[in-house]
């Protein structure tokens, strides 16, 4: 299908954004549904402090949809006309829809956590250890609370864990208590440990992981496993990689952008293919 003057533009804004694989994922979805004449998706590097200009541009050019990523997910909220209740609770927006000049903010990151977990298990009453209390942890805490999990948040800075725990009826602990994750059913990492350039770091020592665990590393940087996931596999635990988070938040966002259910397998194939090209 051809891009025409009538094609709706969707963009991802962030800094850096050049290595984002969201364009490949979304455009593959448009192609699979033969709506690639109706929608196109590209990346735009938008620096901190430029959101006011970005919003003017979105309105003037009638950009249809915006994916919001680091470092703008919180700051963007004050520029929007309406923020959906879920995004308000998570306190971050990763998706904007432009409905005839009204900008509406949503959050689909929590579905990137909830859906992969629910494919493997029921969350209700499971003991879930969430590591980290930053932006990604907010989405994860909302997902786990919504699923009815018994949530404990572990963070280096205890005050941040306490604040997050309070919003979601969870417990908060400092990292001194990390050995307790041995008794959890599910471990979800949202800290930046294990990310480039700290690939040899892990938030959970291998001796705390058992074959009973489901270990979800919500952080991704490449196709290869993080140390946390490698260790979890060595111990025979069930693992979920951050690629699942990227895909599942993207499927939900695709539906918001286009109104169509995401062609999940085609989007997955495209993402994995672009990972191979990157690495
Ligand atoms: P994001 O928005 O991607 O979640 P963030 O807000 O910077 O990123 O949060 C990063 C998380 O990783 C925080 O929970 C941070 O702990 P602090 O709240 O104590 O800063 C955690 N983190 C980063 N590096 C860490 C390290 N070396 N050891 C333990 N926790 C770490």
Q: Is the pLDDT of residue 222 over 80?
A: no
For ligand 1, atom 12, the nearest C-alpha belongs to 191
On average, the pLDDT of the chain sits at 96
Ligand 1 close to Cβ of residue 202 (< 6 A) = no
Q: Is the pLDDT of residue 279 over 60?
A: no
Q: Are strands 102-106 and 238-240 parallel, antiparallel or unpaired?
A: unpaired
For ligand 1, atom 29, the nearest C-alpha belongs to 156
Give the per-residue pLDDT at 170. 98
Active site residue 160: no
Contact 186, 127 (CB under 8 A): yes
Contact 115, 144 (CB under 8 A): no
Give the per-residue pLDDT at 198. 83
Per-residue pLDDT band at 278 (split at 50, 70, 90): low
The model's pLDDT over 167-202, given as tens digits with 9 standing for 90+, comes to 999 999 999 999 999 999 999 999 999 887 888 899
Give the per-residue pLDDT at 153. 98
What CA–CA distances, in Å, run from 234 to 218, 227, 274? 19, 10, 27
The DSSP bridge partners found for residue 214 are: 186, 238
Distance CA 39, CA 101 (A): 18
The catalytic residue among 47, 73, 163, 230 is 73
Q: Is the pLDDT of residue 261 over 80?
A: yes
Q: Is 63 left (phi over 0), alpha (psi -120 to 50) or beta?
A: beta
- Which atom of ligand 1 is found nearest the CA of 219? 3
Best substitution site from 69, 72, 92, 134 to test ligand 1's pocket, by max atoms within 8 Å of Cβ? 134
């Amino acid at each position: 299908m051809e891009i025409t003057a009538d094609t709706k533009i969707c963009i991802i804004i962030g800094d850096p954004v050049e290595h984002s694989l969201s364009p490949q994922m979304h455009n593959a979805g448009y192609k699979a549904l033969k709506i690639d004449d109706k929608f196109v998706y590209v990346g735009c590097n938008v620096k901190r402090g430029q959101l006011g200009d970005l919003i003017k541009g979105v309105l003037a050019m009638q950009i249809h949809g915006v994916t919001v990523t680091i470092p703008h997910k919180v700051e963007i909220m004050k520029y929007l006309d309406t923020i959906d209740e879920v995004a308000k609770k998570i306190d971050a927006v990763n998706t904007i829809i432009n409905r005839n000049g009204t900008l509406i903010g949503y959050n689909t990151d929590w579905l990137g956590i909830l859906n992969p977990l629910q494919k493997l298990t029921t969350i209700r009453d499971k003991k879930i250890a969430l590591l980290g209390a930053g932006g990604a942890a907010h989405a994860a805490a909302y997902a786990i609370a919504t699923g009815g999990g018994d949530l404990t948040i572990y963070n280096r800075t205890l005050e941040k864990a306490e604040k997050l725990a309070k919003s979601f009826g969870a417990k908060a602990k400092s990292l001194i208590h990390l050995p307790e994750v041995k008794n959890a059913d599910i471990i979800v990492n949202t800290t930046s440990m294990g990310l480039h350039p700290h690939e040899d770091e892990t938030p959970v020592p291998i001796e705390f992981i058992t074959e009973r665990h489901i270990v979800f590393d919500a952080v991704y940087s490449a196709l290869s496993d993080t140390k946390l996931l490698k260790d979890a596999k060595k111990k025979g635990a069930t693992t979920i990689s951050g690629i699942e988070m990227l895909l599942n938040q993207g499927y939900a966002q695709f539906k918001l952008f286009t109104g169509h259910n995401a062609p999940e397998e085609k989007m997955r194939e495209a993402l994995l293919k672009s990972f191979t090209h990157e690495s």
